[in-house]
Amino acid sequence: MPAETVAPRDPNLVALTSALAEPFEPREVKFKPQSVKNNRCLAMAYIDARLIQDRLDDVLGVENWTDSYTILNDGSVMCRLRLKLGDRWITKTDVGSPSEQPDGGDRLKAAFSDALKRAAVKFGIGRYLYRLPAQWVDYDGVKKQIVSPPQLPPWALPKAKRTAQSKGEAPKAAPHAEVVRTPPPGGAVVTTEKPEAPKPNLPANGTELHRRLQDYDAKLAAQKLCSRGALLAHVTQAGVKAGFTANLTDWTGPAIPFAVDAVKEFEKGLRADKPEPRTAA
C-alpha cells in the first residue's frame, strides 16, 4: 500500500498555534510547593486562569473562543474550550479538581479554573510548564511559602527575552542630538544642536497599543474590510515571528513602531483586495 501523505499545514494556523504556545513572562509564572521536607520543598510552576483568557483574547480575539462547564457528581468540573482556528471551530475538553479550601464556593471556583487550564494545555497554552525540571527550593514552614522561587531556563522564556539573552544584549540608550560645530568669521566656535524630527503619535506602552488596535480593528470590521479580531491576530502573529511576546500589552520599545508598520501592511493588503467601485462611462 502506498504511504499515506500528510497535507502541509496552513502557515497562518502554524503562526496562531505558535502564538498560543509562547511562554509567558517570568513574572507571571508562579510556584507552589508540591511536597515539603523540613525547610525544603519541591516547587511546581503554574499560571492563573486569567492569563489564559488574556492569551486567547490577544491571539484570537474575544469573539473567536468560548468556554462552557459541567459540574460532575464528584465535585470536579469539566471544561469544553472551543477555539476558532482558521475557518474551523475546534473543541477540547478536560476536567479540573476542587481545591482543599474549607469554603465550598472556593473549592468549586478552583475546579473551574483548573478545568480551563487543563483544557487550554491541549491547545499548547502553558504546556511548556510541564517540561520544567523538578527543583527543590527553600521553604518557610511558618509562612507556608517558597522563600526563593527557582529560575526559569532560557527555553522557558518568551522568544524576545531568549534572543536578547543569547546575544548578551543590554538595553539600548536613546540616541543623542547631533552636535555641529561651525567656525564663523573671527575664529569663534559656535555649538548648535540638530533639531529632532517630529515624532509620530505612537502608543506610550503596550496597554495603549492594545486599546488602539482594538479600536482600529472594530473600525475595519465596520467597514466590512475584514472580520472582527483579524487585525489583532495579524499583528500578534507578525510580532511572534519577529521575536516579540504574544501578549500585546507587554510590548514596549521597538515593538510599538513594529506594530504600527504591521497595521499599515495589513490594511494595505485589505484595500488592495477590495474591488474599486465602478463609475459610469
For residue 111, the model assigns a pLDDT of: 93
Around 43, how many Cα atoms within 13 Å sit in the side-chain half-sphere? Answer: 23
* Mean pLDDT per 10-residue section of the chain, whose length is 281 residues: 67 89 94 90 93 95 95 94 94 92 84 96 95 90 88 88 58 39 43 45 84 85 82 81 76 83 85 57 38
For residue 209, the model assigns a pLDDT of: 87
For residue 194, the model assigns a pLDDT of: 44
Contact 46, 85 (CB under 8 A): no
What is the number of residues in the chain?
281
What's the alpha-carbon Rg for the chain, to the nearest Å?
Answer: 25
- Could you tell me the residue ranges of all domains in the chain? 23-47+126-156, 64-122, 206-273
For residue 177, the model assigns a pLDDT of: 35
For residue 200, the model assigns a pLDDT of: 57
Cell numbers for 225, please give them.
474590510
Between vectors from CA 259 to CA 227 and to CA 62, what angle results, nearest 5°? 35
